[in-house]
Amino acid sequence: MITKEEKEEIMYNLRIIGDVTIDDEKYKKILLETLLKLPEVIREKILEEVLFIFTSAYGTTFNLFFPKQAIEQKCIILNPALHEKEKKTDEGIQDVIAHEIAHIILNHFGSNDPNFEKEADNLIEKWGFKRAYKDYTRFNFMREKKWQ
């Protein structure tokens, strides 16, 4: 069982930047609960290597709002407005966060392999989360697309 002091240390070590909203505390708590469900070695790696970005920005606007150092490292972008629009539960948001963490653990960078989504979901199931996707056919377009 994780103590209150350990939770406070995890929150202290979390690296978060982005929009300041009234929901920040809610999403920080969801992020904390996600991290607590991960194996300790994975949690430690994520705390050391990942910057979490809270934003309502989409697509290319990302580069306009965040400093260069955020672009040059491993980042997970959380969009509370999108989660609200999609009516995701707290557990559903945890599944999405875990899915993105799995991409980092699996080194899914710089490729257009549509199997990456399934691989990430397979891993999060081992961690006790629900799959982020039920249908992977939406990623078939990635086979033909050239990503730079």
Q: Show me where the domains of the chain are located.
A: 4-143
Output the pTM of the full model. 0.77
Mean pLDDT of 10-36: 77
Query: Per residue in 107-145, pLDDT tens?
Result: 887 666 778 889 999 999 999 999 988 877 777 665 555
The closest of 38, 35, 41, 40 to 15, measured between CA atoms, is: 35
Residue predicted with more confidence, 88 or 23: 88
Q: Hey, what amino acid is at 15?
A: R
Following DSSP, what letter does each residue of 16-36 receive, concatenated?
Answer: EEE---TTHHHHHHHHHHHHH
pLDDT at 62 (0 to 100) = 43
Per the listing, tokens 């697509």 go with: 59
Give pLDDT tens digits for 51-109.
Answer: 888 776 554 334 444 555 555 678 888 877 676 767 888 999 999 999 999 999 998 87
Residue 72's closest CA among 56, 51, 94, 98? 51
Say how far residue 108 (Cα) sits from the centre of its chain. Answer: 13
